[in-house]
Amino acid sequence: MLSKLIRRMLPNSWIERMSDKSGRDRPPVKDFSKLDENQKIRYQELSTSFKEKYGKLPQFFASVPGRVNLIGEHIDYCGYSVLPMAVEQTIIIAAHMTNDDKISLSNKDPEFEDHECSIDNITIDKSSVTWYTYFLCGLQGIKDNAEDKKLRGLQCMVDGNIPRCAGLSSSSALVCCSSLAVAYSNGFKFSKIKLAEMCASSERYCGTEGGGMDQSIAFMAESGQAKLISFNPLTAVPVQLPPGVVFVVSNSCVKMHKAATCHYNVRVVECRLAAQVIAKKKNLDWQSLRKLSEIQEALKYDVKEMLTCVKELLHSEPYTKEEICSLLEVSSQELAETSLSANTLHVEQFKLYDRATHVYGEASRVLEFKAICDMPSEDACQRLGQLMNESHTSCSKLYECSCEELDKLVEICLKSGALGSRLTGAGWGGCAVSLVPQEIVESFLEKVKTEHYLTNPERANKVTESLFASRPGGCAFICKKIKEQ
Ligand code: NG1
């Protein structure tokens, strides 16, 4: 452990990395008796279902939280810091180790079919992503890092209460949970940082070029705090949210299945192309640069200067593929190799100006949000709300990752008393997060319920799981019935 004195003297980011090097900063192993009463009931029920399925009790559980991103949308894959917190909803895997090389997967929810495969023969089919694909991504991540070690088999049952396809990171939670369970059962002592990095890259096996926010907060969350997650190197700095306000999550109930559409990867590619076109125009080595943050670093500009740079160097009309090829002086085949991804090869138009303007603006809002939390003034909550509103407008208008229902929901939340409200996660459906003064939470929930949920019969019976105030939850952990160090 680093001494208290040294901890006080060092920046947080150093501490995270040093404790990582010392090998102690691993996901905690909790004793079952330490769970709260509701958790105990859930784990007991899962044990019972596990026993019915496999004829024995699970030996351990892995638990990973979902997350709500407070601000910093679609900028992690551009290299910029984001500000999420874990939610209390989790994915749990109950597991029993076997002596063969078989992985048996089942889900407590009977809607999901069982799956079985050999560890030596994992097939991840990008073209038909199903619930267990995410488990397989996590497993593959451990395989990629197992060196020559042969992995042992596992019987697993998954139980999740994170709303699905809702921008609360249920799929990443499953990837992380599978990695954690497989790592634990094989005796790997990976740190939280290592697991987060492994899971961020292994989730890409399902075809989405994600940025790493979800896996990082899953492993590095701390109860009661949000985190400023930064990349390269990966760090998680605590952010203390001001007192007197809570974050309320509301689900538009429009489902967006990221891996089944190309929306997300198109945005990743648009940002990459914006970076490369700016780099070319600034005589930088554009082929080695892929992220908007890398251009900023190379030019030694601040984010505001990058916004000016976008105005000067890019035009607001969409770019055609031909125009980009001619600017970068490459053929369309070369462009495919340097900049596109499998499911974006067909795209003919790219909005570079709007996307880059969103990214640099959002990156600057994240830093402002963190600064306000660090030095709260009297109007701190109003200012945080304002930043969230600006973020939503930018996501909706410049990044075009909202949808009609979500825009409407954000409006309802603001009308119901939120200081700020915005879509959270990838968007195109899913949830909004709202900053709400503590003293009006009950009336806020009632108003949103009446206006958004009760006006639609399909949404009306989903209120409980779709509308909730959330405190910042804790990180991923292993749960066992015996105490261990
Ligand atoms: P969700 O909301 O889980 O689909 C996705 C990405 C994040 C981030 C956000 C947008 C993955 C696994 N997650 O999250 O990295 O880019 O969108 O801010 O791809």
pLDDT digits (tens, 9 = 90+) for 106-139: 999 999 999 999 999 999 998 889 999 999 999 9
| 106 in a structural domain | yes
Q: Compute the average pLDDT of residues 362-373.
A: 98
- Residue 450, in any domain of the structure: no
Angle, alpha carbons 461-466-469 (nearest 5°): 130
Q: Are 93 and 142 in contact (CB under 8 A)?
A: no
pLDDT band at 304 (very low <50, low <70, confident <90, very high): very high
pLDDT at 19 over 90: no
User: Which percentage of the chain shows pLDDT scores above 90?
Assistant: 91
Residue 228, pLDDT > 50, answer yes
Whether the pLDDT of residue 377 is over 60: the answer is: yes
Alpha-carbon distance of 77 to 56, in angstroms, equals: 43
* 222 within domain boundaries: yes
Number of domains in the chain: 1
CA 215 to ligand 1: nearest atom: 12
From first CA to last CA, the distance across the chain in angstroms is: 14
Please tell me the predicted confidence (pLDDT) of residue 483: 42
Q: In the structure, what pLDDT confidence band is assigned to residue 3 with cuts at 50, 70 and 90?
A: very low
Q: What's the pLDDT score for residue 481? A: 77
Tens digit of each residue's pLDDT (9 = 90 or more) over 158-178: 999 999 989 999 999 999 999
C-alpha distances (whole Å) from 218 to each of 3, 122, 227 are 26, 24, 11
Q: Closest ligand 1 atom to the C-alpha of 82?
A: 18
pLDDT, one tens digit per residue, over 421-435 is 999 999 999 999 999
Q: How far is the CA of 57 from the centre of ligand 1 (A)?
A: 35
Mean pLDDT across the stretch 207-216? 95
| Lowest mean per-residue pLDDT among 12-21, 87-96, 144-153, 193-202 | 12-21
What integer pLDDT is reported at residue 18 of this predicted model? Answer: 41
- Cα–Cα distance list, 174 to 170, 217, 218 (Å): 6, 13, 10
Q: How confident is the model at residue 376 (pLDDT cuts 50, 70, 90)?
A: confident
Q: Is residue 377 part of a domain?
A: no
Note whether 177 and 476 are within 8 A (CB).
yes
Tens of pLDDT, residue by residue over 432-458, are 999 999 999 999 999 999 999 999 999
DSSP assignment of 193-225: HHHHHHHHHHHGGGT----SHHHHHHHH-BTTB
Band of the pLDDT at 14, cuts 50, 70, 90?
Answer: very low
From ligand 1's centre to the CA of 264, what distance in Å? 8
Identified catalytic residue from 20, 25, 159, 214 = 214
The residue to which tokens 């085949």 are assigned:
333
Q: Which residues contact 232 (CB under 8 A, 6 or more apart)?
A: 79
Ligand 1 centroid from CA 327, angstroms: 30
Instruction: For residue 178, give both structure tokens.
Output: 């599978």
Give the domain extent around 6: 2-240+473-480
What is the average pLDDT across 15-41?
Answer: 76
> Does residue 21 belong to any structural domain of this protein?
yes
Rounded distance between C-alpha atoms, residue 34 and residue 480, angstroms? 10
How far apart are the C-alpha atoms of 84 and 73, rounded to whole Å? 10
By most ligand atoms within 8 Å of CB, the mutation choice from 197, 213, 251 for ligand 1 is 213
Between vectors from CA 76 to CA 265 and to CA 27, what angle results, nearest 5°?
115
Instruction: Report the CATH number that the domain containing residue 38 is assigned in CATH.
Output: 3.30.230.10
pLDDT at 5: 47
Mean pLDDT of the chain: 93
The percentage of residues in the chain with a pLDDT greater than 70, rounded to a whole number, is 94
Query: Does 90 fall in a domain?
Result: yes
Residue 243 pLDDT > 90, yes or no? yes
- Determine the pLDDT at residue 24: 58
285 in active site: no
Q: Which residues line ligand 1 (CB under 6 A)?
A: 69, 73-74, 76-77, 167, 169, 172, 203, 208, 210-211, 213-214, 258, 425-426
pLDDT for 462 equals 94
272: left (phi over 0), alpha (psi -120 to 50) or beta: alpha
Which token pair is 471? 């405190």
Give the pLDDT of residue 97: 97
Least confident span in 56-60, 259-263, 386-390, 461-465: 259-263
Rounded mean pLDDT, 310-329: 98
- Other C-beta atoms closer than 10 Å to the C-beta of 281 total 14
The answer to whether residue 102 scores a pLDDT higher than 50 is: yes
**What pLDDT is attached to residue 148?**
85
Is residue 6 pLDDT above 50, yes or no? no
Residue 306 lies in a domain: no
Pocket test for ligand 1, best of 64, 68, 76, 428 (most atoms within 8 A of CB): 76
pLDDT (0 to 100) of residue 15: 40
pLDDT at 335 over 70: yes
Task: Say if 348 falls within a structural domain.
Answer: no
Going by CA atoms, what residue is nearest to atom 8 of ligand 1? 74
Number of residues written out for the chain: 485
**Residue-level pLDDT at 16:** 42
Q: Is pLDDT at 317 greater than 80 in this prediction?
A: yes
